[in-house]
Structure 1
Amino acid sequence: MGQSQSSEPAKEVPIDPDVRSDILGNPEHLSHELALRFASKCYTYLEIAHYKDNFKTLADHQEDVEYWKEDTLCRFLALPEPLNAGPVLYHMCTYLGAFPFPSLAPCILTREALLKVVTIMTGRYKKILRRGDHDKVKLLFRSLAVFDRSASMSSPQAKPNMDEIISEQLPEDMLKEREFENAASSHASGFAIDEPANDDEEEDDDDLALAALDSLDAIEVFRHDQKTDRKIHHAIIPVENMKKLIMLLLLIAGIEPLTPVGVYGQSLTQERLRALRASADAIIAAFDPDPLSNGIKYSNFVKTVTTTTPWLFEPLSALFEHFLFSKNFNLNKHRAEPDPVITIEPRPSPIYRSSEEDSDSIFDDTLLSQITMSLKFFSPSGSLLDVFSSGARFNQLYSTSSHGTSLSSFSRQVLSWRSGTLVIVSGILPNTSNKPITLAAYLPERWHDPASGPRRPPSRDPSAPKACLVQLQPRQAVFPENSYNHTIPVSYFSSKTGIALGCVVPQQSRTVSQPPVLGPVSLLVDADLSTATFQHDGDAGSGAFVTDPGLETAQSRHAELAQPKKITFDIDNLEVWGINFPVGEGEDEVTRQRKRLDWEEAEAARRRGVQFGGDKDGARALLEMAGLVGDKAGNRSGGSV
């Protein structure tokens, strides 16, 4: 790598033991060696060739340095201008490019620095640095954080002066003096984390950086450089910066490495922008920003990313894979042929709408992206999958706006679906100015009809697909299924009492139907589908779903301002979407359900056409013996006598 323009892939160069002591005194040499190791161990020859071509084609030059500016990065990735996420992403890159030495940030995006950014963003570093995702979370926080909240990347004054940075980094003697003697005063405003006064906290070890330098046998250099690093617990991420990044992540949630980001920008209508802002605000609320600094602290960032939104940054991987595909490389084109015009469309939406009426539903691409930040869906075989790349499709089974508020309609449309479903309930929070509340429940197993017999207890198999309850508004919160629950049903339906998720269901009799009782984390919808009650109470014990740590902390610390533990609200809309997975040559669930419903309609018509004269009692006795009506009929549907 280095600044050479050779098309050959970078190779790992062993360090002579006689000069290792000199190299260990210079972080720039170690950073260079790490970039070489990334290039040789984490990429193929062709990928490095594509990357070099992309970098060289757009690079700016100053003296002997090739580098990328902010507008170059934004132009290459085709970031939508209305989101204004380019400065935030560039801020991240100038920090990650200095890995594993925080004191070298912000750095200029040379070819080596940008390669390290791509390696970290795509997760390819795991091929040689076997550390957990928690270490990457810390690195991402550092790349977004500032000490002074006014030093925002949205402000032009906060951007680094590229000429000054280059002049500082070119001479090695000046670099050493800058890094090891005057590090505290040489950082660009808005990028570094200033050292607070009277701070007695010890900095946590950066395990990912330790792993990088451990692979280079240079741990002592990291220990020395760590002295010039800043205290992470006194840093914040400005809310506005985080919101811009989250809106971008929501927009490109289903992006592929070959899909231009620009095609997503073409769909940015005012309505889509409002939806992105609403979802981003809900996710931001999950980080519990500090009201004084309007920033997100490290402890809240780690807690939220690891529990509530574990897949928040996943779209960055496919986004930075774009660096490994150059338009100038086409192995299928003959030399004399003109360059073909290649049009790559984004993946089709997984949400299938059979009619224009479905377009008014609350479930859209933005809401699906928000849900995927918190949970993964299961395939029929029980393995986790990405809902965008798997070819899964969501088909509307029931909606109160389209099918009315009849539980019999709900029963017919939903109980006949024999695969996983997604339930979405929306309404308005009481005693607020039209503040919305939206909840979603992913149920990997089919709904159970009480008329068909007792429901089987929850699965004890730890590898079985797990349900999940998610709050999408007013703040993001996730409630996974409790693996230790073996008594409380995850979902329950009764035409007499309504819909219950995570509720305790009393023993039912033929004469008396007792309503379900709210569990610690549960949702109860009444029989007329007009009112719902949601409860999140960690003090109530263990239930079908696990509490959200962030929401539970907010409820205990700010009881007067936080979301109540129990909320009853009027339902605006309730929707159930069936999840259909692609199959081989067999019939998918949509086709099978359509055949079942057609058969039931034909059977009901046939029963209505049977003539028994005036002997109705005899007719009913005959139908009971046939098992078509009465207690032996099970969950069959049809006409009545």
Structure 2
Amino acid sequence: MGQSQSAEPSREVPVEQLSHELALRFASKCYSHLEIAHYKDNFKTLADHQEDLEYWKEDTLCRFLALPEPLKAGPVIYQMCTYLGAFPFPALAPCILTREAMLKIVTIMTGRYKKVLKRGDQDKAKLLFRSLAVFDRKASVSSPKEKPDMDALVRDQLPDDMMKEREVQEGMQSHASGFAIDEPANDDEDEDDDDLALAALDALDAIEVFKQDQRTDRKIHHAMIPADNLKKLIMFLLLIAGLEPLTPLGSYGDKMDSEKLQALNVSADATVAAFDPDAHNNGVRYANFVKTVATAIPELFDPLSNLFEHFLFSKNINLNKHRDTPEPIITIEPKPSPIYRNPEDDSYSIFTDTLLSQMSMSLKLFNPSGSLLNIFASGARFNRLYSSSSDGTSLSSFSRQVMSWQSGTLLLISGTLNDTPEPSKTITLGAYMPEKWHDPSSGSGSRPPPSYEGPKPCLFQLQPRQAVFAANPYNRTTPWSYFSNKTGIALGCVIPQQSRTNAAPLAPVLGPVGLLIDRDMSTATFQHDGQAGTGAFVTDPGLETAQTHQPTTAQRKKVEFDIDSLEVWGISFPEQGAGEDELTKQKKRLAWEEAEAARRRGVNFGGDKDGARALLEMAGLVGDKAGTRSGGSV
């Protein structure tokens, strides 16, 4: 079927029929017969009925997905579903969540539509924006008295032959309760159903129809996502970031306490800030939404895939069950946290499960096979190597714990901004180094060779705003990381050529995007300046725009802060490595070093303790003169 086909025959086909054909195509091409059987059983078990119509209400959807009530994300997700269920005909939204509508929703959320449709994630981001957006809105949140008349909204937007289906839901809410939806102000910009139907019928490339309908594209720029609604959704996505298709959904809401809720709230605020909500109406525009999802938070909506995969597993269908045999009780516990801590270690740590979820929306890790995977899907485990809270602020301690680790690491640093009257004074930065730190005695740091094609590191910011600074693929001179006992820790900094005649080492110079930690590990300086040229890391487009238009203290191009905590976590892959994992090897290396140090301390001087001490004093190793003499060489 090509574009030369006349549009007239397609106009005779009702859009409901085209939507039905698309659902059938999804069912046959994107799922196995067993998955469809599971889906039908799940839907039918919980469906409400009115005459011949089966449908789901909002509370049914929230109950099936086990949405935690404190997060208040149910209305937002329901709004998304009532829009996506009408795909590819936005004029039919909000739609009733029938079996076919829910199947289209599951297909889009899980990404299985790619088996049928040609377009990819860019158009999906546009579709998700539409599902969350409101048009010509006058308020972010409406009170119950301000709710629109649902009957009038339905009469205005749905064809007559769909009215009967909509009327069976008495008291049905529009999109979602709790936020405002105003009718379109420009009637001449309503979507053209005929053009959309023709595009859907022609090759079923349903996402592409949004580009063919120019009036719809113009209208999207009059829409925005209320920042409060986006925050509720992001808090839920942070909670289920490590969710798997077979993990019980309710298990993630069981441990919802005030501390967890506060952590989700802080991370969600930083994530929403990356979208640069409009200061006047507190809404996120389409351009900012697409730019942020494409650059700073590309994995934001990934948890929705595993969430909606749960529709394809029914507890009522068990192929292993025999007749007259009681149903076995199968319990699947959530995977333990990838953040490994010694059970006896109760010291403070800035690295939490919520912070890991926030990072998973921006970062991917290289596993031993060389694949770049989502943090949770990679099978990585994080082992604490160094913490300033428990190991002190000594560079020698940092060197001993970190330099001996033979694989990738994650550095996290949290501090308090200096000289700022703003309520949010905390800044949290991090760095992912996919390879080991180099020996500081080499003086070169971790620098990419001219023909380097391996995994590349990145810097990132988690507070007060989420941002990612990827490695510059064209950099061949500036080291990604550098460590020196004399000058401190440098990431993305220029290392001056050390003079042989000058005894004092020259301090590293901040690159366009760089982090410099001083030698006493008390203060750090972070720079993000796109006008300073190119360096080891590239700038974040969203943060660069914010620095130009609304530079707060935390968004200045160069900020200095007092370090509250600095941690380095070693990354290992125990499920994929052969033999001993890196953590076991690290423990053996450190144990050998301790044993060797003890052996040297226990040198036998023949029982003459006074003579041994006199010898050590002469060497300048003990006593009042210790540290003032060179002590010779061994």
TM range (shorter): 0.7 to 0.9
Kept after mapping to 2: 8 A contact 1:151/1:158: no
Q: Which runs of 5+ in 1 are unaligned?
A: 1-16, 176-185, 620-638
Residues 616-631 of structure 1: pairs in structure 2 closer than 5 A: none
Q: Deviations over 1:107-127 (max 9, x none)?
A: 001111110000000000000
User: Against the structure 1 CA distance between its residues 354 and 24, is the aligned structure 2 distance closer, same or farther, given a 3 Å change threshold?
Assistant: farther
The offset of 1:149, in angstroms, is 3.9
Partner residue in 2 for 1:12: none
Kindly provide the amino acid, as one letter, of the partner of residue 73 in structure 2.
Answer: A
Residues 430-441 of structure 1: pairs in structure 2 closer than 5 A: 430=418, 431-432=420-421, 433=423, 435-441=425-431
Give distance in 2, aligned partners of 1:277 and 1:228. 34
Of stretches 355-364 and 367-376 in structure 1, the one that deviates more from structure 2 is: 355-364
Partner residue in 2 for 1:366: 354
1:476 matched to 2:466? The reply is: yes
Residues 68-83 of structure 1: pairs in structure 2 closer than 5 A: 68-83=56-71
Give distance in 2, aligned partners of 1:204 and 1:377. 44
Kindly provide the amino acid, as one letter, of the partner of residue 595 in structure 1.
Answer: K
Give distance in 1, aligned partners of 2:212 and 2:404. 65
Kept after mapping to 1: 8 A contact 2:15/2:197: no
Give distance in 2, aligned partners of 1:155 and 1:66. 31
Counting matched residue pairs gives 593
1:587 matched to 2:580? The reply is: yes
Kept after mapping to 2: 8 A contact 1:129/1:208: no
User: Against the structure 1 CA distance between its residues 89 and 198, is the aligned structure 2 distance closer, same or farther, given a 3 Å change threshold?
Assistant: closer
Partner residue in 2 for 1:512: 504
1:351 matched to 2:344? The reply is: no
Kept after mapping to 2: 8 A contact 1:131/1:211: no
User: Against the structure 1 CA distance between its residues 227 and 65, is the aligned structure 2 distance closer, same or farther, given a 3 Å change threshold?
Assistant: farther
Give distance in 2, aligned partners of 1:147 and 1:497. 55
The offset of 1:342, in angstroms, is 2.0
Correspondent of 1:547 among 539, 543, 548:
539
Kindly provide the amino acid, as one letter, of the partner of residue 74 in structure 1.
Answer: C
The offset of 1:444, in angstroms, is 0.6
1:86 matched to 2:74? The reply is: yes
Give distance in 2, aligned partners of 1:598 and 1:337. 54
User: Against the structure 1 CA distance between its residues 487 and 222, is the aligned structure 2 distance closer, same or farther, given a 3 Å change threshold?
Assistant: closer
Correspondent of 2:272 among 284, 288, 303:
284
SS in 2 for 1:520: strand
Give distance in 2, aligned partners of 1:358 and 1:484. 43
User: Against the structure 1 CA distance between its residues 544 and 272, is the aligned structure 2 distance closer, same or farther, given a 3 Å change threshold?
Assistant: same
Of stretches 459-468 and 28-37 in structure 1, the one that deviates more from structure 2 is: 459-468
The offset of 1:331, in angstroms, is 0.7
SS in 2 for 1:277: helix
Correspondent of 2:600 among 590, 600, 607:
607
1:492 matched to 2:474? The reply is: no
The offset of 1:234, in angstroms, is 1.0
SS in 1 for 2:538: coil
Give distance in 1, aligned partners of 2:192 and 2:295. 20
Q: Which runs of 5+ in 2 are unaligned?
A: 165-173, 617-631
Of stretches 590-599 and 235-244 in structure 1, the one that deviates more from structure 2 is: 590-599
Partner residue in 1 for 2:363: 375
SS in 2 for 1:91: helix
Q: Deviations over 1:294-325 (max 9, x none)?
A: 11000100110100000000000000000000
Of stretches 585-594 and 528-537 in structure 1, the one that deviates more from structure 2 is: 585-594
Give distance in 2, aligned partners of 1:533 and 1:208. 53
Correspondent of 1:567 among 559, 580, 585:
559
Partner residue in 2 for 1:262: 250
Kept after mapping to 1: 8 A contact 2:458/2:537: yes
Kept after mapping to 2: 8 A contact 1:88/1:153: no
The offset of 1:457, in angstroms, is 3.4
Identical-residue share of aligned pairs (%): 70
Partner residue in 2 for 1:525: 517
User: Against the structure 1 CA distance between its residues 202 and 566, is the aligned structure 2 distance closer, same or farther, given a 3 Å change threshold?
Assistant: farther
User: Against the structure 1 CA distance between its residues 458 and 272, is the aligned structure 2 distance closer, same or farther, given a 3 Å change threshold?
Assistant: same
Give distance in 2, aligned partners of 1:219 and 1:275. 36
Of stretches 453-462 and 189-198 in structure 1, the one that deviates more from structure 2 is: 189-198
The offset of 1:18, in angstroms, is 13
The offset of 1:585, in angstroms, is 3.9
Kindly provide the amino acid, as one letter, of the partner of residue 56 in structure 1.
Answer: K
SS in 2 for 1:442: strand
1:389 matched to 2:382? The reply is: no
Kept after mapping to 2: 8 A contact 1:87/1:153: no
1:172 matched to 2:161? The reply is: yes
Q: Deviations over 1:389-429 (max 9, x none)?
A: 33211000000100000111000000000110000000112
SS in 1 for 2:243: coil
Partner residue in 2 for 1:329: 317
Give distance in 2, aligned partners of 1:420 and 1:29. 54
Kept after mapping to 2: 8 A contact 1:260/1:344: yes
1:239 matched to 2:231? The reply is: no
Partner residue in 2 for 1:180: none
Of stretches 385-394 and 266-275 in structure 1, the one that deviates more from structure 2 is: 385-394
The offset of 1:217, in angstroms, is 8.6
Q: TM-score, normalised by structure 1?
A: 0.85
Kept after mapping to 1: 8 A contact 2:61/2:78: yes
Give distance in 2, aligned partners of 1:159 and 1:379. 51
The offset of 1:163, in angstroms, is 11
Give distance in 1, aligned partners of 2:461 and 2:303. 21
The offset of 1:80, in angstroms, is 0.6
Kindly provide the amino acid, as one letter, of the partner of residue 143 in structure 1.
Answer: S
Give distance in 2, aligned partners of 1:217 and 1:517. 52
Give distance in 2, aligned partners of 1:584 and 1:331. 34
The offset of 1:600, in angstroms, is 1.5
Kept after mapping to 2: 8 A contact 1:470/1:479: yes
Kindly provide the amino acid, as one letter, of the partner of residue 341 in structure 1.
Answer: I
Kept after mapping to 2: 8 A contact 1:382/1:463: no
Partner residue in 2 for 1:42: 30
Of stretches 226-235 and 410-419 in structure 1, the one that deviates more from structure 2 is: 226-235
Give distance in 1, aligned partners of 2:208 and 2:29. 24
SS in 2 for 1:519: strand
Kindly provide the amino acid, as one letter, of the partner of residue 573 in structure 1.
Answer: S
Give distance in 1, aligned partners of 2:482 and 2:213. 58
User: Against the structure 1 CA distance between its residues 367 and 330, is the aligned structure 2 distance closer, same or farther, given a 3 Å change threshold?
Assistant: same
Give distance in 2, aligned partners of 1:384 and 1:343. 31
Kindly provide the amino acid, as one letter, of the partner of residue 523 in structure 2.
Answer: T
Kindly provide the amino acid, as one letter, of the partner of residue 323 in structure 2.
Answer: R
Kept after mapping to 1: 8 A contact 2:55/2:97: yes
Kept after mapping to 2: 8 A contact 1:237/1:296: yes
Q: Deviations over 1:571-626 (max 9, x none)?
A: 0000000001124441110111111111222222333344689999x99xxxxxxx
Kept after mapping to 2: 8 A contact 1:135/1:208: no
Residues 177-326 of structure 1: pairs in structure 2 closer than 5 A: 194-196=183-185, 212-216=200-204, 231-326=219-314
Of stretches 489-498 and 145-154 in structure 1, the one that deviates more from structure 2 is: 145-154
Kept after mapping to 2: 8 A contact 1:523/1:532: yes
Partner residue in 1 for 2:170: none
Q: Deviations over 1:344-367 (max 9, x none)?
A: 211110000014435520100000
Partner residue in 2 for 1:99: 87
Q: TM-score, normalised by structure 2?
A: 0.86
The offset of 1:268, in angstroms, is 0.9
User: Against the structure 1 CA distance between its residues 501 and 455, is the aligned structure 2 distance closer, same or farther, given a 3 Å change threshold?
Assistant: closer
The offset of 1:203, in angstroms, is 9.9
Kept after mapping to 1: 8 A contact 2:91/2:191: no
The offset of 1:64, in angstroms, is 2.2
Partner residue in 1 for 2:570: 578
